Amino acid sequence: MTLKYLITGATGGLGKQVLNYFTANVPLSEFAVASSSAANKSIFENCGIAFRHVNYDDPQSLEAGLRDVENLLFVSTGDKHRGEQHANVIEAAKNAEVKHIWYTSLAFGGFQDTSKAPVMQDHLLTERLLKESGLTYTSIREGVYAECFTIFLDWYAERSGTITLPADGEVAYTSRAELGEATARIMINGGYENQVVLFTAGETITAREIVDIINETTDRQIKLDLVSREECLRAWMRDPRDKPREHFEMIATVWDEIVRGALRTTHPLLREILGREPTKPRDFVRRLLEEDRNYVFPY
């Protein structure tokens, strides 16, 4: 029996939002969820949602799980072996004759393939593999989650005095819930065959503007200090949370890309798919901090 939609990553931040929209708007008989954890089977089936066990590291589970699927929501992983895992998914989808893959990529570089951000390289590889596979696909370059602004600023509630960064620049931070809804809607509506599309908020915001919002909404007096990359890394390494250097080098490389304008591109497609204006980054950040003055993205 053909399954119209299979949603991977349904327990993750983006996939959960996609599933929420499907559950509210699509008959349960038309979709199923997939997870690498068999323990999730009863959780979903108790809600009336069909379950398939799919492990990106296991080609056999992939081919069994993707059998008779028309539309596959292919949620990218955060694993260090992501490139190999994604290649496994594409090969299995080809063997299973999946009709359309909807891949969740990232918005670094906008529509360009020139981003040097390490986090973007596996996405560019996956898009290339999709193009070469002969499968029908749509790569959705999802805007950077607005919820993650605290990571980019290395902001945490106990911090006082100064936020130290190696640079500042514009970022089109986008609501994860709106990205999930739009991803579900575009799958259901169809189209965009063999295209890269971009989902972003309609405006950008800078770190300095976010610091102003932090101060306005939490009654703090935080200052932004822009220093050299190495000086910034040294300051970050004094972090009392005991984060590894690799974590801070990752943030620094993101700022390298922001300075080059890699996260500045905005596009109206998210508004068109949602049928309304996406939440502006400044409004989203303000709302988060008004709800919880000590808000920090959990990671």
According to the model, what pLDDT value does residue 231 have? 95
d(CA 218, CA 294): 8
Residue 253 belongs to some domain of the structure? yes
d(CA 50, CA 289): 37
pLDDT confidence band for 100 (50 / 70 / 90): very high
Per the CB < 8 A criterion, the answer to whether 34 and 8 are in contact is yes
260 in the same domain as 157? yes
160 in the same domain as 230? yes
Q: Tell me: pLDDT of 107 over 90.
A: yes
Residue 269 belongs to some domain of the structure? no
136 in the same domain as 37? yes
Residue 118 belongs to some domain of the structure? yes
210 in the same domain as 120? no
Residue showing tokens 């290649």: 87
Q: Which range of residues forms the domain containing residue 133?
A: 3-143+175-199
Residue 37 belongs to some domain of the structure? yes
45 in the same domain as 193? yes
Paired with 288 in beta bridges are none
Could you tell me the two tokens for 211? 């610091």
Q: Which helix (H) or strand (E) holds 100?
A: strand 100-106
69 in the same domain as 154? no
- Establish how many alpha carbons lie within 13 A of residue 121's alpha carbon, considering only the half-sphere containing its beta carbon: 9
pLDDT confidence band for 299 (50 / 70 / 90): low
Residues in CB range of 80: below 8 A, 6 or more apart:
none
Per the CB < 8 A criterion, the answer to whether 204 and 281 are in contact is yes
Give the number of domains in the chain: 2
Residue 161 belongs to some domain of the structure? yes
pLDDT 10s digits, 163-185: 999 999 999 999 999 999 999 99
According to the model, what pLDDT value does residue 80 have? 82
123 in the same domain as 160? no
151 in the same domain as 76? no
Residue 270 belongs to some domain of the structure? no
**pTM (2 d.p.):** 0.95
According to the model, what pLDDT value does residue 264 have? 97
Residue 238 belongs to some domain of the structure? yes
34 in the same domain as 109? yes
66 in the same domain as 184? yes
234 in the same domain as 118? no
According to the model, what pLDDT value does residue 57 have? 94
CATH code of the domain containing 285: 3.90.25
Taking all residues of the chain, what is their mean pLDDT, rounded to a whole number? Answer: 95
The larger pLDDT score, comparing residue 156 to residue 171, is at: 171
pLDDT 10s digits, 202-242: 999 999 999 999 999 999 999 999 999 999 999 888 877 77
d(CA 52, CA 38): 8
193 in the same domain as 129? yes
- Burial pattern 210-239, b for ≥16 Cβ within 10 A else e, equals bbebbeebbebebebeeeeeeebbebbeee
CATH code of the domain containing 53: 3.40.50.720
